[in-house]
Chains A and B, each alone.
Chain A
Amino acid sequence: MTKEIRLMKGNEALAEASIRAGLQAYFGYPITPQSEVLEYFAEQAPKRGFTVLQAESEVASINMVFGAAGAGARVMTSSSSPGISLMQEGLSYIAAGELPCLIVNVNRGGPGLGTIQPGQGDYFQSTKGGGHGDYHLIVLAPSSVQEMADFVFEGFKLAEKYRNPVMILTDGALGQMMEKVELPPEGSLPYVRPEWATTGKAATRERNIVTTLFIEPEVMEQVNIKLQKKYTEICEKEVRYETINCEDAEIVLCAYGLSARISQKAMDLAREGGIKAGIFRPITLYPYPYEILNKLAETADHFLDVEMNAGQMIEDVRLGVNGKKPVHFTGRMGGMIPDPEVIYQEIVKIVGKK
């Protein structure tokens, strides 16, 4: 088969990949900087046979996702920060009901209605809960347009394997920028309607029930135990990350998504300036790659966490490094983007030479 390479916006690549991944239904509400996702689906749906619906709000969107997922459909929604906040109740319900689906957050600057510029201020919300109760999303963080496409496939696979909602946490810049992308072939992710799907009772089996109400605390606890067991398995099996030039690194830059790309430029500047810098880039933000960080802390002298927020992932970096080496921070907030030169100056300051 010949490779199909296109120049696409991150949002469009994600949408096209979703269709190729066998998306059956999309429910969403427009919000910058991710409106291209809904637009792309709306244009393609009549030609390619899936359901796309612009709901009346994000609250409605996530509950439509809840319903479709309960019926066993391959389903997704997308939004940006304020819209994702509105979905949190639904996400907690979907996690409790153990339903697979894909949620895309094209993170913008906040808090509040905020700005439409790219941000990473939703890290805590995405990785530590967001809604109520003891649950986790599996969180994937692409850092290129290629990964915006690839992680859709990865996301649906993980969601269906673990019956758990998966979030792709990206940002406005990755959504809006164009890069080369090799699109995965259509139909390469087989779909089988799950046995538990609530599609009407057949004479041959018991009723399938999807519920999130467990009024007896003894039962509710058992549900929690089951969920935690699942999260433990996910933490054991599904951790993903990338390291660049870490073998000899005296300082390791820790960053995900767009920050990781910007940090690579800073790493290049540092290497040119004679400082051995490396990159640690978590790809799964939940489960978090703590172990490799702990290992890196044996060889590197410093860690520099780079984020587009006030410092959120740094708490996980510290947990990984576990006090073995100092963990520093640099970042910008509210939709402003870190400058590679400034990060480089920070590296020089920390390592103490030029």
Chain B
Amino acid sequence: MQKSEEIIIAGFGGQGVLSLGQMLAYSAMIENKEVSWMPSYGPEMRGGTANCIVIISDTRISSPIITKFDSAILLNQPSMDKFEKAVKPNGLIIYEESTVVSKPRRDDVKYIKIAALEEATKLNKKQVANMVLLGAFLELKPLVGIETILKALKTVLPERHHHTIPVNQNALTRGKEIVQELQ
């Protein structure tokens, strides 16, 4: 059976939604997987919400645009409202605790809430909340190794931001730990 994972990542602009998806796609590419990253770039971007579809696969990817997902990483309430129903049965929804207020509305998907913003604040860098979520996601779905993410950060981030790699690493680790504690 061929393996592929179809992921939607959504939130407000500025939460690092698109870069989270890019890190994931870039890392999977380093690990020789087929990848596609499709951002929203339309009017919804102007309204303050952003999303991207990331597909990681062992085989050639057909459509980069899909309407049903294996996993969702959601960083705000409008994204939960929009994509909660788009996750396949037995799928996974990871969401940010403080920005998503609704109660889970389905019983056929797995919900994991992560206090990513709080954790990032503890690390003195709010911007790494997305990495906390990525760490949590990769603990549940080990699609790529954390070492690969760090390697990707080095390539993707301009040199002047390389000093942020340790705090990104801490955020990833924290995300993983939170999930481990939950289980």
The reply on B69 being an interface residue by CB < 8 A is no
Cβ contact within 8 Å between A177 and B42: no
The reply on A54 being an interface residue by CB < 8 A is no
Cβ contact within 8 Å between B25 and A7: yes
- A contact residues, total (Cβ < 8 Å): 26
Cβ contact within 8 Å between B34 and A7: no
**Residues of A contacting B41 with CB < 8 Å?**
32-33, 116, 172, 176
The reply on B145 being an interface residue by CB < 8 A is no
- B152 to chain A minimum Cβ distance, whole angstroms, is 9
Find the residue from B34, B63, B65 having the highest chain A CB count within 10 A: B63
- A32 to chain B minimum Cβ distance, whole angstroms, is 7
**Residues of B contacting A262 with CB < 8 Å?**
62-63, 65
The reply on B29 being an interface residue by CB < 8 A is yes
**Residues of B contacting A340 with CB < 8 Å?**
62-63, 66-67
Among candidates B35, B39, B66, residue contacting A7 with C-beta atoms closer than 8 Å: B35
Find the residue from B26, B34, B62 having the highest chain A CB count within 10 A: B62
Among candidates A5, A178, A265, A337, residue contacting B37 with C-beta atoms closer than 8 Å: A178
Cβ contact within 8 Å between A335 and B29: no
Cβ contact within 8 Å between B65 and A173: yes
The reply on A341 being an interface residue by CB < 8 A is yes
**Residues of A contacting B26 with CB < 8 Å?**
7
Q: How far is the CA of A340 from the CA of B64 in the complex (A)?
A: 11
Q: How far is the CA of A172 from the CA of B22 in the complex (A)?
A: 18
Q: Residues 107-121 of chain A: 1 if any B CB is under 8 Å from the residue's CB, otherwise 0?
A: 000000001110000
Find the residue from B37, B64, B68 having the highest chain A CB count within 10 A: B64
Among candidates A116, A173, A267, residue contacting B38 with C-beta atoms closer than 8 Å: A173
The reply on A164 being an interface residue by CB < 8 A is no
From known contacts A116-B41, A178-B22, A178-B25, infer whether A265 and B35 are also in contact, taking CB-CB under 8 Å. Answer: no
Q: How far is the CA of A297 from the CA of B26 in the complex (A)?
A: 42
Q: List B residues 37-89 near A (Cβ within 8 Å).
A: 37-39, 41-43, 61-68
Which residue from chain B places its CB closest to the CB of A6 in the assembled complex?
B29
Cβ contact within 8 Å between A265 and B25: no
Among candidates B61, B62, B67, residue contacting A341 with C-beta atoms closer than 8 Å: B67
Which residue from chain A places its CB closest to the CB of B26 in the assembled complex?
A7
Q: List B residues 109-136 near A (Cβ within 8 Å).
A: none
Find the residue from A7, A115, A179 having the highest chain B CB count within 10 A: A7
**Residues of A contacting B34 with CB < 8 Å?**
180
From known contacts A7-B26, A7-B29, A179-B36, infer whether A116 and B42 are also in contact, taking CB-CB under 8 Å. Answer: yes
Q: List B residues 80-101 near A (Cβ within 8 Å).
A: none
Q: How far is the CA of A149 from the CA of B22 in the complex (A)?
A: 20
Cβ contact within 8 Å between B38 and A265: no
- B17 to chain A minimum Cβ distance, whole angstroms, is 14
Cβ contact within 8 Å between B65 and A258: yes
Q: How far is the CA of A117 from the CA of B40 in the complex (A)?
A: 9
Q: How far is the CA of A178 from the CA of B65 in the complex (A)?
A: 12
**Residues of A contacting B64 with CB < 8 Å?**
173, 177, 179, 258, 261
Cβ contact within 8 Å between B63 and A5: no
The reply on A264 being an interface residue by CB < 8 A is yes
Q: Residues 30-57 of chain A: 1 if any B CB is under 8 Å from the residue's CB, otherwise 0?
A: 0011000000000000000000000000
- B173 to chain A minimum Cβ distance, whole angstroms, is 24
- A145 to chain B minimum Cβ distance, whole angstroms, is 8
Q: Residues 257-271 of chain A: 1 if any B CB is under 8 Å from the residue's CB, otherwise 0?
A: 010011011011000
Q: How far is the CA of A115 from the CA of B65 in the complex (A)?
A: 18
The reply on A339 being an interface residue by CB < 8 A is yes
Q: How far is the CA of A137 from the CA of B108 in the complex (A)?
A: 53
From known contacts A5-B29, A7-B29, infer whether A176 and B65 are also in contact, taking CB-CB under 8 Å. Answer: no
Cβ contact within 8 Å between B37 and A7: yes
**Residues of A contacting B62 with CB < 8 Å?**
261-262, 264-265, 267-268, 340
Which residue from chain A places its CB closest to the CB of B67 in the assembled complex?
A339
Q: How far is the CA of A339 from the CA of B62 in the complex (A)?
A: 13
What are 15 pairs between A and B in contact, CB < 8 Å?
Answer: A7-B35, A172-B41, A173-B38, A173-B65, A177-B36, A177-B38, A178-B37, A179-B37, A180-B34, A261-B65, A262-B63, A335-B42, A337-B65, A339-B67, A340-B63
In the A-B complex, the 6 residue pairs with the smallest Cβ-Cβ separation, listed nearest first, are: A264-B62, A265-B63, A178-B37, A265-B62, A262-B63, A177-B38
Given contacts A33-B41, A173-B64, A261-B63, 20 further A-B pairs with CB under 8 A are A7-B22, A7-B29, A7-B35, A7-B37, A32-B41, A115-B42, A116-B42, A177-B36, A177-B38, A179-B36, A180-B29, A180-B35, A258-B65, A261-B62, A261-B65, A262-B62, A262-B63, A339-B67, A340-B62, A341-B68
